[in-house]
């Protein structure tokens, strides 16, 4: 049976748009089905973290994104400052930027690379066989159509129809109700960093977007209202005065909403030819600002793998690594965000206050603070590896300088969307050694001293590493690593 597309993505949120851009770039096309008719103006995620910016750097769009937002180097975690400025990255900060701006940038990229984004197309069901997936889609006029793809990514958010159609549960618990969110102007704003506090009344935090508006998120422990209950500026002003001592002269909000958060994680991210990514796979409160970032990192992990398998350059087993790598990352995110939320919700002099004391230590004791900064920035994520693997395997590749003709640093070189084999500066690898993989692997030399050979995946994680030597055994090991990660060599 013929396919309408190699990959169909359900949902044009940040997760779906990043995946679609990667797949269109690698395969020449990708279809996105989006239920909404109109552009998203949702103001939800207010922060893009360090690791997401590194992933966007590997796609050449991080600098544009930084230009559109406000870098925040110090995060106020319920009264305790967490310094992000010493993170070992080009992006040692959290970028404050409204979610719709992030989505606009990703959409422009996806379309430019050839992705087709179909609005008003709601996925209502699916079935799969050995060769593909049939999606039942309702169009804007209410008519039903079937679209067939080799693979489907369910990036259709927390209420995912794809997840339901797969028959997967979404176990977890309710975490917070009646949290108010307000993007507003202020006549007397706090200084340019995240301000946060928690007390007997609840919690509140303020984040500047850098465009004259501020994000205020607040929770009143005495009010437990459904999301549908209207919210007005006076309610959030009053709560902010009680928690932070001032309402900062809030006026003319452009966004006001009330929301609830659950903490849930799907038991598996892959069922046959269908993958779940983003909020469809994991959800938690906004504490820590990790939700959208984790979703985009899911997409970055999955896109190149699907493209490699579709092009016949990797075995199907590579797709299983998506669940093996990203589900534990999702689990960690739900855990960290939950701890932060409960520390924020804790009343003084209760067992919960102990959590806040732990949090205080996590921002003040240098090794703990480093760990916390790495967790919130996303750069602490690494992937499981076999016990005999080199210690660098599975880790995030740092943005090292290169002595390459085209690129001066690693994340610039990753824009070729191939694996990078990074050699010591003076290593003499004959071109014939990697020639059979030339369409999949680019050989680049490190710009500084190193005695290691490192194979870096398109998503910036280390696939394989070894101590360099110019022996024949080295050539055999390189061949074995390339065959594992990139499939058999092409005929030369």
Closest separation in Å from C-beta 343 to ligand FAD: 17
Cβ-based nearer residue to ligand FAD, 121 or 419 = 121
Closest to ligand FAD by CB, 216 vs 413, is: 216
Rank residues 274 and 421 by Cβ distance to ligand FAD and give the closer one: 274
Nearest to 20 by CA among 48, 59, 57, 51: 59
**Beta carbon nearer to ligand FAD, 196 or 453:** 196
Q: How far is the CB of 349 from ligand FAD (least distance, A)?
A: 29
Instruction: Write the CA distances from 375 to 27, 111, 326, 404, integer angstroms.
Output: 33, 32, 15, 32
Residue 10 CB, shortest distance to ligand FAD, in Å, is 5
Cβ 286 to ligand FAD, closest distance in Å? 4
Residue 122 C-beta: closest distance to ligand FAD, Å: 4
State which residue, 279 or 399, has the beta carbon closest to ligand FAD.
279
The residues pairing with 262 across neighbouring beta strands, listed in sequence order, are 174
Q: Of 254 and 364, which has the nearer Cβ to ligand FAD?
A: 254
Site residues (vs ligand FAD, CB under 6 A)? 10-16, 33-36, 44-47, 99, 122-123, 155-157, 161, 181, 259, 278-279, 286, 289-293, 295
Confirm if 178 and 224 have CB atoms less than 8 A apart.
yes
Nearest distance in Å: CB 17, ligand FAD: 7
Enumerate helices (H) and strands (E) in the chain, giving the number of each: 13, 23
Q: Which is nearer to ligand FAD, 15 or 301 (CB)?
A: 15
Considering the complex, state which of residue 78 and residue 437 has its C-beta at the smaller distance from ligand FAD: 78
Q: Do 157 and 278 form a contact (C-beta atoms < 8 A)?
A: yes
CA angle 169, 285, 181 (to 5 degrees): 130
Q: Which class for 430: exposed (0-12), middle (13-18), buried (19 or more C-beta within 10 A)?
A: exposed
How near is the Cβ of 333 to ligand FAD at its closest, in Å? 9
Which residues fall within 8 angstroms of residue 339, CB to CB, at 6 or more apart? 355, 359
- 305: which residues sit within 8 A by CB, 6+ positions away? 314, 318, 319, 321, 322
Whole-angstrom Cα distance, residue 164 to residue 154?
10
Smallest separation, CB 310 to ligand FAD (Å): 22
Nearer to ligand FAD, 179 or 454 (CB): 179
Count CB neighbours of 7 within 10 A: 30
H or E segment to which residue 455 belongs: strand 452-456
Nearest distance from residue 65's CB to ligand FAD, in Å?
Answer: 14
| Residue among 219 and 485 whose Cβ is closer to ligand FAD | 219
> CB 49 → ligand FAD: shortest distance, Å?
7
The rounded Cα 245 to chain-centroid distance in angstroms is 35
Which residues neighbour 99 within 8 Å (Cβ) at sequence distance 6 or greater?
14, 40, 42, 43, 44, 45, 46, 292
Tell me how far, at minimum, the Cβ of 7 lies from ligand FAD, in Å. 15
Rg (CA), the chain: 23
What are the φ/ψ torsions at residue 381 (nearest 5 degrees)?
Answer: -70, 130
Query: What SS3 class is residue 472?
Result: helix
Partners of residue 271 on adjacent β-strands: 274
C-alpha pair distances (Å), 52 with each of 15, 65, 76: 11, 11, 20
Q: Tell me how far apart the alpha carbons of residues 459 and 482 are, in angstroms, rounded to a whole number.
A: 16
Which residue, 132 or 157, has its beta carbon nearer to ligand FAD? 157
């Amino acid at each position: 049976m013929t396919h309408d597309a190699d990959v169909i993505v359900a949902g044009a949120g940040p997760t779906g748009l990043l995946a679609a851009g990667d797949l269109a770039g690698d395969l020449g096309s990708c279809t996105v089905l989006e239920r909404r008719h109109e552009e998203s103006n949702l103001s939800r995620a207010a922060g893009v973290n360090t690791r997401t910016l590194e992933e966007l750097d590997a796609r050449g769009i991080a600098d544009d994104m930084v230009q559109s937002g406000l870098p925040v180097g110090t995060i106020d975690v319920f009264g305790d400052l967490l310094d992000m400025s010493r993170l070992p990255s080009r992006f040692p900060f959290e970028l404050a930027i409204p979610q719709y701006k992030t989505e606009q940038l990703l959409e422009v990229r996806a379309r430019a690379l050839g992705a087709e984004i179909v609005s008003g197309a709601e996925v209502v069901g699916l079935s799969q066989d050995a060769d593909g997936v049939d999606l039942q889609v309702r169009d804007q006029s209410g008519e039903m159509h079937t679209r067939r793809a080799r693979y489907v990514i369910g990036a259709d958010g927390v209420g995912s129809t794809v997840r339901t159609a797969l028959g997967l549960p979404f176990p977890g618990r309710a975490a917070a109700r009646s949290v108010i969110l307000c993007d507003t102007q202020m006549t007397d704003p706090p200084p340019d960093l995240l301000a946060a506090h928690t007390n007997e009344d609840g919690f509140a935090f303020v984040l500047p977007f850098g465009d004259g508006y501020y994000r205020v998120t607040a929770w009143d422990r005495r009010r437990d209202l459904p999301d549908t209950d209207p919210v007005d500026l006076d309610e959030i002003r009053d709560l902010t005065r009680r928690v932070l001592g001032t309402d900062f002269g809030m006026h003319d909000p452009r966004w006001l909403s009330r929301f609830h958060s659950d903490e849930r994680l799907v038991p598996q991210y892959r069922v046959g030819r269908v993958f779940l990514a983003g909020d469809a796979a994991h959800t938690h409160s906004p504490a820590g600002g990790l939700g959208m970032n984790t979703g985009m990192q899911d997409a970055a992990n999955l896109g190149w793998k699907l493209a490699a398998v579709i092009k016949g350059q990797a075995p199907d087993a590579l797709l299983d690594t998506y669940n093996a790598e990203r589900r534990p990352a999702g689990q960690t995110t739900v855990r960290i965000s939950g701890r932060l939320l409960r520390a924020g919700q804790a009343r003084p002099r209760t067992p919960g206050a102990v959590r806040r004391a732990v949090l205080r230590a996590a921002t003040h004791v240098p090794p703990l603070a480093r760990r916390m900064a790495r967790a919130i920035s996303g750069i602490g994520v690494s992937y499981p590896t076999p016990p005999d693997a080199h210690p660098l395997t599975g880790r995030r590749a740092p943005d090292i300088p290169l002595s390459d003709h085209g690129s001066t640093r690693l994340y610039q070189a990753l824009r070729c969307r191939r694996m990078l084999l990074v050699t010591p500066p003076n290593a003499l690898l004959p071109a014939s050694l990697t020639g059979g993989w030339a369409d999949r692997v680019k050989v680049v030399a490190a710009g500084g001293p190193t005695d290691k050979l490192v194979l870096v995946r398109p998503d910036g994680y280390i696939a394989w590493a070894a101590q360099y030597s110019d022996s024949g055994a080295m050539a055999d090991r390189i061949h074995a690593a390339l065959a594992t990660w990139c499939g058999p060599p092409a005929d030369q």
